[in-house]
Amino acid sequence: MGWVAACSCMALLCACSGSPSKGPVETTTVGTIQVSADESFKPVIDSQIKVFEASWPSAKIIAHYKPEAECIKDLNNDSIRMIFITRPLSRDEETVMKAKLGYVPIYGKLAFDAISVIVNKDCKDSLFDMSDMRSMVKGTSGYKYKVVLDGLTSTSTVRYVTDSLAKGEPLGKNVMAATSSQGVIDYVGNNTDAIGLVGVSWIGNKEDTAQNSFLKKVKIASIECAACQPVVYTQPYQYNIATRRYPMVRGLYYILKENYDGLGSGFSNFLIYERGQLIFKRAYLFPARMSFEVRSTKIN
C-alpha cells in the first residue's frame, strides 16, 4: 500500500514538473495584439502606440498600415484585433460580424481629421473653393494640375474624393496615384504642376521635425468657407475643423473585436480618455471625446 502511494506521489510530481509553463495572462495593459490602420493616420497612431507602450512596458501593439478597404477586410482576419478607419460599421457589416463572432464589435469615433490640400512651394495658386476641388478631380477644371492621391482604389482619401467631391462620377485622367501619403508629399514637392490631398496628421503638426521638413517643399492651400459671412479661405487648423469652417472634414473611428477586458480594450480606453485625446490634439486632429470651449478673444 505504501509502495503504491509513493508511486502515485512520484507520478504527480513528474506530471507537475513536465507541464509547459504558461505565458503571462493578457490584461488591459499586458500582452501583444496586432492592429490595422488606414495609412492616412500613421503619424498619429504611431504616436499613440509609442506613449501607450512606454506607459505599460508589458504591452506590445503591432500596427499594419494599409488602405482603408484592406483594414475592413482584416475584420475577418483572426490575427487582427482592432482597426482604425474613417467610418463606423454599416448595419450589414454589423450583421455579418455578429454571425461570425457571436457579438458586434465595439466601435466609436476618436477624433475629427481633415483632408489637407497641398501645392508646391513655388506654386502661385493657394486659394481654392469646393467647386475648384470638384472640377479638378473630375478633370474638367481650368486649372491644369495633376491631382495626386495616396492610391486610386481602396484608401480613405480616394473614397472621400469619389463620394464627396466627384459624387460618384469618374475621376479625371489628371488624377494619379502615389504609393502612400509620404509619396504624395514627395511628388508635389518635386512638381509645380501637381496638387495633393493628404490627411492633416501628415502635414499639420509644425512641432514635428519631419513635417517641418515637408513644409520646406510644399505649402498648405486654403479652401473657401462658403458658409462664413463674409466668405473667407481657411486652412485645416483645429478651430476650423471643430467649427466646420474648413469644409473637408472626416472622422477617425476605432473598431475592436474584443468582448472581454483584453489589451485592445486597454488601448481603446487610452485613446478615448485624456492622454490619448491630448495626443490627437497635439497631432492637429480635433479630439472627439473631450469637451473644448471656444472663446472669442481680442489681440491688442
Percent of the chain with pLDDT over 70: 87
Does residue 168 share a domain with residue 86?
Answer: no
Rounded to whole angstroms, how far apart are CA atoms 285 and 200? 7
Does residue 132 share a domain with residue 97?
Answer: no
Total structural domains within the chain: 2
Does residue 238 share a domain with residue 121?
Answer: yes
pLDDT tens per residue across span 227-236:
898 989 999 9
Buried b (16+ CB within 10 A) or exposed e, 260-278: eebbbbbbbebbbeeebbe
Burial of 182 (0-12, 13-18, 19+ CB in 10 A): middle
Q: Is 189 part of a structural domain of the chain?
A: yes
Q: Which domain holds residue 199?
A: 113-249
- Taking phi over 0 as left and psi of -120 to 50 as alpha, with beta for the rest, 167 belongs to left
Does residue 131 share a domain with residue 212?
Answer: yes
Q: Across the chain, what does the average pLDDT equal?
A: 89
Q: How confident is the model at residue 14 (pLDDT cuts 50, 70, 90)?
A: very low
User: Which CATH number characterizes residue 84's domain?
Assistant: 3.40.190.10
pLDDT tens per residue across span 87-136:
999 999 999 999 999 999 999 999 999 999 999 999 999 999 999 999 99
Does residue 47 share a domain with residue 71?
Answer: yes
The pLDDT score that the predictor gives to residue 105 is: 97
Does residue 142 share a domain with residue 188?
Answer: yes
Q: Please give the C-alpha separations between residue 110 and each of 38, 182, 239, 259, 286, in angstroms, as whole numbers.
A: 14, 23, 17, 19, 9
Residues near 92 by Cβ (< 8 Å), separated by ≥ 6? none
Q: Is 163 part of a structural domain of the chain?
A: yes
Does residue 228 share a domain with residue 137?
Answer: yes
Q: Is 300 part of a structural domain of the chain?
A: no
Q: Is 13 part of a structural domain of the chain?
A: no
pLDDT tens per residue across span 228-273:
989 899 999 999 999 999 999 999 999 999 999 999 999 999 999 9
Q: Could you tell me the pTM of the whole model?
A: 0.86
Q: Is 92 part of a structural domain of the chain?
A: yes
Does residue 118 share a domain with residue 245?
Answer: yes
Does residue 259 share a domain with residue 212?
Answer: no
